[in-house]
A and B are shown apart, each in its own frame.
Chain A
Amino acid sequence: MVNILDRIRNRWSQGTLALALLVGSVAGGGGREINFDTTIKPVLQEHCFKCHGPKKQKGKLRLDTLSTDLVQNQDAAEAWYAVREALTLGEMPPEEETTLSRDERETLLSWLNTTIDRAAKLRGDKGGRVVVRRLNRVEYQNTMRDLFGLDISYAADFPPDGVSPDGMFNNGRSLRMMGIQFEYYLKAARNALDQVILTTPEPEVFTHTFEKSTEGKWVNKIKPSNRLGQKQEFLVRIKKDYPENGAFRIKVKAHAEFPKKRGPLPRMEVFVGYRPDTLVDRELLAELDITADGVREYEFVGRIENFPLPVRGQGKYPGLVISVVNTNHDGSPPLVVESLEFQGPLFDRWPPAQHRRILHDSDLRHSHEADYALEVIERFLPRAWRRPVMDSEIERFINFFKTQRRESPTFEEAIKETLAMALISPSFLYLLEPDSDDPRRLNSFELASRLSYFLWSTMPDEVLMTSVRSGVLQEPAELAKQVSRMIGDDRSRQFVEQFTAQWLDLDAIDRLVIDKKLYPDFRPDLSHDMRSETEELFAHILRNDLSARHFITSDFVMLNNRLARHYGIEGIYGGEFRPVALSGDHASRRGGLLSQASILMANSTGRNSNPIKRAVFLRKRLLNDPPAPPPPNVPELKTADPDFARLPIREQLKAHVNDSACADCHRGIDPWGLALEEFDAVGKWREKIVWPVGGGKTIELPVDAKATLPDGREVDGIAQLREYLWEHRREKFARALVSKLLVYSLGRSLEFSDEAAISALTDEFVKNEMRVGQLLQAIVATPMFQSK
């Protein structure tokens, strides 16, 4: 049954129901021709009330008392909507119950269609409303970085954000604000300004050049060397003369000795840190494939405060340690480092650019300090607040500055406090769209913010603001042009990372422990590549405006050498991801999200596949049809038989279907996961199942991926499952993706009254061969995106 509880949850979490609806009283019940009481109710009585009536309320649904007033009663509207879906998909009534006659089915559907459509129209123009929301942690971090042009950590102290019932981290209702959170906003604002506005004298610039490693030994029997294979590192220590703040640059002069034949590439990784006895206290600065012959100079830039540094004068390991590593262990030629140069801190002049961006050069600085402060405030506020600022607001800030100045020994201290105030203001922390008891169109500044937090997870850039100021952003052609530009911009990567993570719950990868005994070859750092594969697929589809079909079934996959090795695909060299056409057995095994290791692993137990988790993933994430959670005090499966654990998962799951308390839901869950049984816990293809039976023992079982799907069709394995999904659930998937993107773009959950808009977008999306880039364009063009 469709998950009513979840729908109800969604709505509840939206707090007060949007029942301030000013719709007049609409007679409940019935479409134009069909009378509920005389025609519909008897059918329901015969077929449905047994399980959804006074005695039982399976799936928490009770039909005999359900209101037929879909306009006033949102609960009822959503429940009837779910009923229609279950009927349309043939999921209800269940097999073992009396089937509906064709006439009965048509009558029911006809009444449902008319009633739902009519109610949707009546409620429609009210729609769901976006609730004022604050920036989440990621958006805050990105916004501060872009506001100050300084890539350091700003949000590390913030408590994790609340997640919405639909799994999103940008939902206004779930993003709470509390005292302790606010306290850290103030702290973060002050810290940031302390980093940006520098009152220290110009620092000494250190330059060090090394031609040999300076260290004698390292962890794990690694030997210092210039020639880097598996067991060597180029390792240098700067004892005293290094900066603790600011940008630095490392230049590595190196070459690789390539054989004639094409083969694995060396991969250079550069780490900065301080401990030789553990790998924890060093961080990756950069990595890249070495693809070309000859000696070349590779240059990497970073901020030293983002790396672990020793406390000066303390500890066993003084000094900054830089190491160069060749991480490719698949027989790549050695990488030879000829020299390494470190230089820092880097700045064009003092104070550095990010300081001058806030405290600009001006004669007023010393002659007329208060006038200068005014200029600083006038330049800063509109950027920080992403909108024009009123004179009265400026005035409050300048007055505050003046008060502060009397108490502060320096100008800088007073102006820092003043600007910090701007960063704890609601105009910075929130996406404010005021004056809106009734729906209204966004003004162009609000639109620009909505757009850039949607497509970039950060503040609008200068180009977008220029479009706003010249008054053209709201013109459809200009808007479309901006959306294309933004998708093409590197910052859209932030959208890809945020959206894929929230849509597909990629964080689940990190919540899992892979059993080392059962998967001795699995390296935990591969999970990073797994995650990248999913992001890379989305990015590739978006960048090239490809069809969302590739999420379901695809003739290519995004791979780098490590993941290719994991999948058993040969001939892929280098750590960068690229599309790889599938051939041979791989063509039927891989392609699409459901065959990605990230998703298969995240939805495993860490020891074996988990058909239930995989099935729930498929229904919840890909079809937007999450199964109901287990009821309270759920009876446990009768599994006291000690041999139960030795049974194949398929046999174990049969207990679900044999137990009537479980069967109703699990018939609609288990088969989806069983069809993915060809993949083990880490997403590798398997010919047999190694099944742990307790006490560290395992048994081997044959792979069986046959499944009877809820509509009675049978599939055997991933290839047929994908085919089925594409043939029979394409629209449902399209609708699910549209909904998820819409939820993300609006920062709110959807409700019944949004159905019409979702349908329209879905129709257009499907007609457009499900091109994702065009879908983003279409979402931005909707009134719901452009209005509050």
Chain B
Amino acid sequence: MNMESKKPWRLNRRTFLRGAGAALALPALECMGRIAPAAEPRRLAAIYFPFGVSMPPADSGKTEWSWFPKDEGAGFEFTKALQPLEPLRDDLTILGGLSHPDVRQIDGHDSADTFLTGCNLLKRKLHNVHSMDQIAADHLAEQTRFASLVMSTDGGVGEPTRSSTLSYNRHGRPIPALNQPRQIFERLFGVGDDTTELGRRRLRSGSNMLDLVLEDARRVRGRLGREDQDKFDEYLDSIRDVEKRVERSQAWVDLPKPEITDQDRERLKLESDSEVPEDYIGTMYELIYLAFRTDSTRVATYQIASMGDATTLAGKFPQLLGMGKNLHSLCHDWNKPQGIEPLGKWDQFLARKFAGFLQKMRDTPANAEGTTNLLDQTSIIYGSSNSTTHTNRNYPLVLAGGKAMGFKHGHYRRFAESVPLSNLHLTMLRQAGIPVKSFADSNSMLSELLG
């Protein structure tokens, strides 16, 4: 990945805030952005589900449950599986044919890790690379209180090839996903310590503490064997990351955490867990929505279920929803006559949850005149790294939102297999104002998606 050189004249947000005083309203001023013309916030989100979708054979008599629409282009027809997205037709594009070429050869269940990275893990001793969302997060970090919001139903990192996070940092290390709604909410909106006198003192002492611990850790590292040192670098990097966080918190300390309305609170089901998928997935989307609306972060990822067929907590979602089988088996039955409809209904359920989120984003004006909305300022990739289960090709994908970022929607577009999915990632990054020249194995922008 190539970065364009940083602009030396760019204002440091901290200096800026100090100068401008604390009363300044949040949404960043354009001169602070890394990209001069980005007058409005630009956001990125990625939503992932595993094991593929319903693709009934043409002679099955049940093609209405096909995930992919009928007919291509602007005149495409929604099937039952994506029906809930119909009202958002003009805010999204359905994409067919794309996949990561490097990932096609690996196990069908090994591909979730690479949805946003595009590399062949198995050729890299299972070390991943910087994910698309985190490249954006690194760039946009200073604009908001949180660089990114990384969530999954399973939480943590899982294991390589069965990861439970979509996001990887600049070293290719997995970023642990949060999975408890209450905890995520507290993090984003909790009054927290920062605003109290004690909290401020702790922010300051935290800085000192981290300096000392880092110093100490460096000494420890010097005494470790070579292999341990490699492992221990994770710890050193973590301290540096938290130092940055503390520093940022200090910059934000005079700005209270955003207000959440009573209606917001009503909608949130913070105690929900994976036992009630309807509430849980809804609440996770709600948290992304609130984080975006309050401009607490500009980057969010949510993995609805991991590829760990035996381990994901979401495995039982379809059963809890009365669809009979567990997720993995449900997806395996895609070509069995009696398996088509249950899988189609699961696809439809996911689409309905996603549509609810998009709808809310669209209904939220993003400026005083109401000429643009949150959805227009956010590009969202939604989909899976399997078409049918085990098949790492022809990813079922929806690209939604971002009309204010240059995207043009309302089509079902099919791409040749030679087009790498990284081209979409590159396009999303560029349209979000991230100055990258390429991403993974990208070879061009997907200009047909742009208006």
Query: Which residues of chain A have a CB within 8 Å of any CB of chain B?
Result: 9, 12-13, 15-16, 18, 20, 129, 131-134, 156-157, 159-165, 172-174, 176-183, 186, 190, 393, 396, 400, 403-404, 407-408, 413, 417, 420-421, 424-427, 429-430, 432, 434-438, 505, 507-508, 511-513, 515, 605-607, 613, 629-634, 636, 639-640, 642, 644-645, 694-695, 788
Contacts and interface: CB of A to CB of B under 8 A. Distances in A.
B234 A16 contact: no
Given A160-B156, A605-B329, A630-B390, A417 B209 contact: yes
B109 interface: yes
Nearest to A420: B209
A656 B87 CA distance: 44
B433 interface: no
Among the interface residues B176, B230, B329, which one has the most CB atoms of the partner chain A within 10 A? B176
Nearest to B318: A513
A15 B324 CA distance: 40
Given A162-B157, A178-B241, A633-B390, A129 B216 contact: no
B177 to A, nearest CB: 7
A174 B163 CA distance: 11
Contacts of A426: 213, 216-217, 220, 232, 235
B105 interface: yes
Among the interface residues A129, A605, A636, which one has the most CB atoms of the partner chain B within 10 A? A636
A182 B242 contact: yes
B173 interface: yes
A172 B232 CA distance: 10
A15 B231 CA distance: 9
A456 B127 CA distance: 33
4 tightest A-B contacts by CB? A179-B241, A160-B156, A159-B176, A513-B319
A186 B234 CA distance: 16
B238 A178 contact: yes
Contacts of A178: 157, 169, 173-176, 234, 237-238, 241
Given A159-B178, A417-B202, A631-B107, A645 B241 contact: no
A695 B341 CA distance: 11
A435 B338 contact: no
A613 to B, nearest CB: 8
A427 B150 CA distance: 29
Nearest to B60: A640
Contacts of B208: 400, 403-404
Contacts of B245: 179, 183
Contacts of A131: 227-228, 231
Interface of B: 104-109, 122, 125-127, 150, 154-161, 164, 169, 173-180, 183, 198, 201-202, 204-206, 208-209, 212-213, 216-217, 220, 223-228, 230-232, 234-235, 237-242, 244-245, 310-313, 315-316, 319-320, 324-326, 329, 332, 334-338, 390-392
B242 A645 contact: no
B336 A639 contact: yes
Given A632-B105, A642-B337, 4 more contacts: A179-B175, A180-B241, A413-B198, A512-B316
Contact of B230 (A16, A182, A407): A16
B336 to A, nearest CB: 5
B65 to A, nearest CB: 15
B52 to A, nearest CB: 12
Contact of A640 (B173, B225, B335): B335
Nearest to A132: B228
A179 B154 CA distance: 19
Among the interface residues B223, B231, B312, B315, which one has the most CB atoms of the partner chain A within 10 A? B231
A417 B205 contact: yes
Nearest to B226: A437
Nearest to B164: A160
Contact of B228 (A436, A631, A632): A436
Contacts of A404: 205, 208
A13 B220 contact: no
B107 A632 contact: yes
Contacts of A160: 154-156, 164, 176, 179
B432 to A, nearest CB: 22
Among the interface residues B154, B224, B312, which one has the most CB atoms of the partner chain A within 10 A? B224
B226 A629 contact: no
A18 B104 CA distance: 30
B216 A425 contact: yes
Nearest to B393: A633
Nearest to A510: B313
Nearest to A182: B238
A400 B238 CA distance: 21
Contacts of B198: 413
A639 B334 CA distance: 11
A408 B234 contact: no
Contacts of A133: 231
A751 to B, nearest CB: 13
Nearest to A695: B338
B173 A645 contact: no
B129 to A, nearest CB: 15
A644 B336 contact: yes
Given A15-B230, A425-B216, A633-B390, A165 B159 contact: yes
Contacts of A432: 220, 224
Contacts of A644: 336
A630 B335 CA distance: 17
B201 A642 contact: no
A293 B203 CA distance: 60
Contacts of B234: 176-178
B212 A421 contact: yes
Contacts of B175: 178-180
B317 to A, nearest CB: 9
Contacts of B179: 159-160
B227 A421 contact: no
Contact of B238 (A13, A173, A181, A427): A181
B125 A173 contact: no
A396 B176 contact: no
B173 A508 contact: no
Contacts of B239: 182
B155 A640 contact: no
B338 A632 contact: no
B160 A13 contact: yes
A131 B230 CA distance: 10
B159 A164 contact: yes
A9 B155 CA distance: 22
A449 B223 CA distance: 19
Contacts of A186: 206, 209, 242
B241 A182 contact: yes
A268 B103 CA distance: 57
Given A176-B173, A631-B107, A436 B213 contact: no
A639 to B, nearest CB: 5
A632 B109 CA distance: 8
A406 to B, nearest CB: 11
Given A162-B159, A413-B201, A694-B338, A421 B209 contact: yes
Contact of A176 (B157, B206, B223): B157
Contacts of A505: 310
Contacts of A181: 176, 238
A396 B104 CA distance: 53
Contacts of B158: 162-163
Among the interface residues A160, A165, A408, A515, which one has the most CB atoms of the partner chain B within 10 A? A160
Among the interface residues A156, A176, A425, A427, which one has the most CB atoms of the partner chain B within 10 A? A176
